Structure 1
Amino acid sequence: MTTARRATRYLRVGLLLLTGLAAGQARPEEPAAQADSAVTRGAQLFREGLRADRSPVEAQRGNGVAVQGQEAACIQCHRASGMGGAEGSTAVPPIVGSILFAPGRPVQPRQPRVFSHLTRQAPAAQIRPAYSLETLLRALNRGIGPTGQSMDALMPRYQLTEAEVRDLAAYTTTLRIGEAPGHDGRTLHLATIETADNTPAVRQAATDLLVQCMAERSPPAQDSPHAPPAWTLHRWQLGADPARWPTELEALQRQQPVFALVSGITGPTGRGAWQAIQQHCERDALPCVLPNTASVDDSQPSVWSFHFSRGVSLDAATMAEVLVEHAPPGGWRQIHLVVEPRHEGAAIGARRLVERLGTRPVVRRPEWWVHAPDAPDTAAWLSGLGKHDALALWLPGMALSAWTTRHEPPPGAPRVLASGELIDLDAGAVAPSWRAAVQLTWPYAPIERHLPRVAQNVGQWLQSHQRALASDPALIRLQGHTYSACEVTANALRRMGARVSRAYLAELLEGAEEAATATAYPRFTLGPGRRHGSQGTWLMRFTDPRHARLQPEGDWFVPE
């Protein structure tokens, strides 16, 4: 077989492997309801601002601003959970049926102290009488609450019929608060993931830390139905084979339903495969909070899954940006990918790079070549690469070290990019002969900047709990990120209190990023609809004469 035919076979088989290993499942549709049911019509009004005939509702806010359709939908302010929140300085009350059609009740039993000459007035939503269909119709159409007071100017004034208000009310009664899988009334059951091939050091740095942190943050067990439930964290251990995880996860969920997954470690480094777990979370509407993984596919649904960053998908976006912005005159001739197809993260990253470059405007379409790391003709095609060619290395640490040790860099000086996520930012994984040529994608601050900060922030907690700070940089990051996952989850759960709802927790997580105090990322921000905390990256290059130290080449940036 000729080199060209063999490479073509690698391309065809390689892309099939990438698709098979890395592709996720779309979020399944909700159980079908009859198209003319009141709940379905109410859901359409609530979520999309559409009437039964799919025409947009029209409304006018109290300040005179006209809105319609999606902009006028209840979900815009009251959120998918129906629990509201805040729009600037304006509190948005919950409209879940069990709350809406019951008298208002102060959320906090303890009143804050006020100056002696002032009187504190509780929010109207906490002291109002229960809504009826009649008062709800008046509130929606005229902006007048059940006690006769005018509603806030942000509240739209609609022109809904009585039938439409009944439909909307029917839908709000399906939004459950206080009832959820994993909640038995007094205890909120949570779980974290570990796998059979985790090393003891990784489990100590992550799971052992998380168990102690969550137990410490949990509220005490109480009998009152209005008291927040105590938390119990279960250690779910999966096998070493990701292909078996869906079955294992279903069995664990049947044995003990849980409300959410917190953090998690897979593989020997703790940052291995995760797609089967994310698919389980998305399918079962199970919040999955900040796992320690680089195996993130940003093309797949992530409604219930929160990640520290886009992982290898961010590496792919970075490489695509570099290859577009720094293409040689006339464009790239060939782009070669060396991929470990049995590694989920490598397969995802390589596939996302191909997909991203396929949608970007380029001078000409390059020839794509995908190679396995052990391909026998590697030396032959490597030697033919020049300045109009690019090479992207999607290899985990030991594989990258072995490959760059076994092969010499091409004399023609092609552009060489490697995934920093896959080697866990271990500069030693690049053989010395390649260090002058390679650029590494790098989502964290340079190690001399982020490591002392992470060590200090998580080290204070570790020291106060008689736990040791790890000596290995990767394990220190694992400690910091696991501790941050604990604090973010605890922050959101505390604010949720007794109003237990998975959708509500997801919304509270969007505003809990300030608790992620020990991550290695220079910027970490969540928000409505945002599921990846850090969006940016650096390109790093070995800069000192001995090529032993990595330094940023340019500024931190957010690729498209």
Structure 2
Amino acid sequence: MPRFALDDASMQLLIGYLRELSAHPAPGALTDILQFATVVTPDADPVKRDAMLEVLNHFFGNKNAYYRGADPPLKSERRIHFRVLRRWQLHVWELKGAPETWREQLEHDLRLEPVFAVISGVGGRAWEPVHEFCEHQEIPCLMPNVDLPVVDEKAFYPVYFSRGVLLEADVMAQRLGIAASLAAPRAPAREIVEIFRPDDIGAAAAHALAADLAPNVTQVTLKELKTRSPAGELARLVREAKSADALVLWLRPADLKALPEHATLPATVLVSGLMGGLEQAPLPSSWRATTRLTYPFALPSQRMIAMNYPLGWFRIQQIAVTDERTQTNTYLACSILAEAASTMLDNFVPDYLVERVEVELSHRIINGYYPRLGLAPGQRFASKGAYLVRFSEPTGTRIVADGDWVVP
């Protein structure tokens, strides 16, 4: 048992914190049931939504299949085998309308269905109203499927897998910044061109990268792709960027497929792996030797064994794999929640759940797509790095790392 030498000021802070803790069960944590919610935003991909919900429903169903009713309240780990088993109930909060109306909808849902925590979830471009709601209501919001999360390290209750496209922007900035620092002192000013759609998450990532590059690069040109039949516009934008030092693409697979097959490319081409489809990115064959993709996961060969766990569970549950990453992350989020909750005895306090998640993450060795996960006080993104990868062949999906794992 650790012992700490606390001065009077620290002791007063500790006493004040303990007095704030409730002696009553938290909302959503009843004697025989734990209430959870998952949030779906209206701009979420319907395929991801259905994939996530199927995993959640099967996981909760399995959890409740072993429910045996209330046992005597647990006061000590000596009686761990007598622990109270609570049923888990899932509420699906599907939001509608514009993001500025989501907060009111969430508060309405919470009044009708008080929950102990929000588990997983799926969003598109906007997640900030959900993030702010969870922080304001002091509800743990654990590992949603969002590629543009809210970066707010002062927040306590929302916990994410990674910073998504914002992490990719930092990895790209580090690669481009190193190239700028190696350039000759009297070399011409470097130019970086970024192409993105203004109504997608790549817009925020493109502006973040431009801000990161400001100290090292004189000119960053932001090009918006607006047409729905983009082949002609992409050909023009790529042609205009041929003299740049680097071209960065924040585009979805449908747009990557429309890139011109024969084009004069800058020496460096970087593509968002998260947006482009990772190793499934449909780049033209003539682009593959030059292009590097950001890849914020373990490489396919590295995660093969770890993926046996979720994929095997999907087979047993007869779940069709329609979106492997979303389904794996949802399964992983549920597993982390189950492990954290199982160590809480009968102390179901939201703050304690977040602290248990921090602890449990550091012990895990099976992390699905991720090589490692870890949290500490003040950290709310469990995976902190990425690879830059390249295709090893003109066709196919085999990729190789172009350098080490980067933690910017």
User: Normalization by structure 2: what TM-score?
Assistant: 0.83
1:155 aligned counterpart, secondary structure? coil
Q: Provide Cα deviations, 1:481-502, integer angstroms capped at 9, x if missing partner.
A: 1111111001111112321211
Which of residues 205, 209, 213 is equivalent to 2:59? 213
Report whether the alignment pairs 1:188 with 2:61.
no
**Counterpart-to-counterpart distance in 1, 2:4 and 2:336:** 31
Report matched runs for 1:333-412 at 5 Å.
333-343=190-200, 345-358=201-214, 360=215, 362=216, 365-374=217-226, 382-385=238-241, 389-402=245-258, 404-405=259-260, 409=263, 411=264
Counterpart residue number, 2:389:
540
Counterpart residue number, 1:281:
134
Counterpart residue number, 2:89:
232
Tell me how far 1:223 sits from its aligned partner.
Answer: 7.5
1:541 aligned counterpart, secondary structure? strand
**CA contact 2:307–2:368 (8 Å) conserved in 1:** no
Report whether the alignment pairs 1:520 with 2:369.
yes
C-alpha spacing 1:334/1:381, structure 2 compared with 1 (3 Å):
farther
**CA contact 1:536–1:556 (8 Å) conserved in 2:** no
C-alpha spacing 1:368/1:179, structure 2 compared with 1 (3 Å):
same
**Counterpart-to-counterpart distance in 1, 2:12 and 2:223:** 61
Counterpart residue number, 1:462:
314
Report whether the alignment pairs 1:489 with 2:329.
no
Aligned residue type for 1:292: N
C-alpha spacing 1:197/1:339, structure 2 compared with 1 (3 Å):
closer
Counterpart residue number, 2:4:
155
**Counterpart-to-counterpart distance in 1, 2:320 and 2:235:** 43
C-alpha spacing 1:356/1:282, structure 2 compared with 1 (3 Å):
farther
5+ residue gaps, structure 2, are 75-83
Aligned residue type for 1:339: F
**Counterpart-to-counterpart distance in 2, 1:172 and 1:418:** 49
Aligned residue type for 2:19: T
Tell me how far 1:505 sits from its aligned partner.
Answer: 0.8
Report matched runs for 1:29-178 at 5 Å.
90-91=1-2, 154-156=3-5, 158=7, 169=15, 171-178=17-24
2:246 aligned counterpart, secondary structure? strand
Q: Provide Cα deviations, 1:441-494, integer angstroms capped at 9, x if missing partner.
A: 0112233443x43542113323443x1352x5xx22222211111110011111
Tell me how far 1:296 sits from its aligned partner.
Answer: 2.4
Report matched runs for 1:194-205 at 5 Å.
194-195=40-41, 202-205=48-51
| Bigger radius of gyration | 1
**Counterpart-to-counterpart distance in 2, 1:448 and 1:529:** 32
**CA contact 2:196–2:202 (8 Å) conserved in 1:** yes
Report whether the alignment pairs 1:441 with 2:294.
yes
**CA contact 2:131–2:150 (8 Å) conserved in 1:** no
Counterpart residue number, 2:271:
418
**CA contact 1:332–1:390 (8 Å) conserved in 2:** no
1:210 aligned counterpart, secondary structure? helix
Q: Provide Cα deviations, 1:143-164, integer angstroms capped at 9, x if missing partner.
A: xxxxxxxxxxx4215357xxx9
Tell me how far 1:380 sits from its aligned partner.
Answer: 5.5
C-alpha spacing 1:428/1:313, structure 2 compared with 1 (3 Å):
closer
2:104 aligned counterpart, secondary structure? helix
**Segment of structure 1 superposing worse, 515-524 or 438-447:** 515-524
1:496 aligned counterpart, secondary structure? coil
Report matched runs for 1:248-259 at 5 Å.
248-259=105-116
Tell me how far 1:238 sits from its aligned partner.
Answer: 2.1
C-alpha RMSD over aligned residues: 3.1
Counterpart residue number, 1:6:
none
C-alpha spacing 1:548/1:230, structure 2 compared with 1 (3 Å):
closer
**CA contact 1:441–1:540 (8 Å) conserved in 2:** yes
Q: Provide Cα deviations, 1:336-390, integer angstroms capped at 9, x if missing partner.
A: 22121211x21231222123223x5x3xx42121111138976566435456522
Report whether the alignment pairs 1:558 with 2:406.
yes
Tell me how far 1:316 sits from its aligned partner.
Answer: 0.6
Tell me how far 1:266 sits from its aligned partner.
Answer: 3.2
**Counterpart-to-counterpart distance in 2, 1:250 and 1:178:** 22
Q: Percent identity?
A: 28
Which of residues 305, 317, 326 is equivalent to 1:478? 326
**CA contact 2:365–2:372 (8 Å) conserved in 1:** no
C-alpha spacing 1:201/1:323, structure 2 compared with 1 (3 Å):
closer
**CA contact 1:334–1:388 (8 Å) conserved in 2:** yes
Aligned residue type for 1:371: K
Report whether the alignment pairs 1:323 with 2:172.
no
5+ residue gaps, structure 1, are 1-89, 92-153
C-alpha spacing 1:280/1:436, structure 2 compared with 1 (3 Å):
same
**CA contact 1:177–1:501 (8 Å) conserved in 2:** no
Q: Provide Cα deviations, 1:94-150, integer angstroms capped at 9, x if missing partner.
A: xxxxxxxxxxxxxxxxxxxxxxxxxxxxxxxxxxxxxxxxxxxxxxxxxxxxxxxxx
2:70 aligned counterpart, secondary structure? coil
Aligned residue type for 1:346: G
**Counterpart-to-counterpart distance in 2, 1:397 and 1:275:** 25
User: Normalization by structure 1: what TM-score?
Assistant: 0.62
**Counterpart-to-counterpart distance in 2, 1:531 and 1:557:** 20
1:277 aligned counterpart, secondary structure? helix
**Counterpart-to-counterpart distance in 2, 1:516 and 1:479:** 19
Q: Which has the higher contact order (CA 8 A, sep 6+)?
A: 2
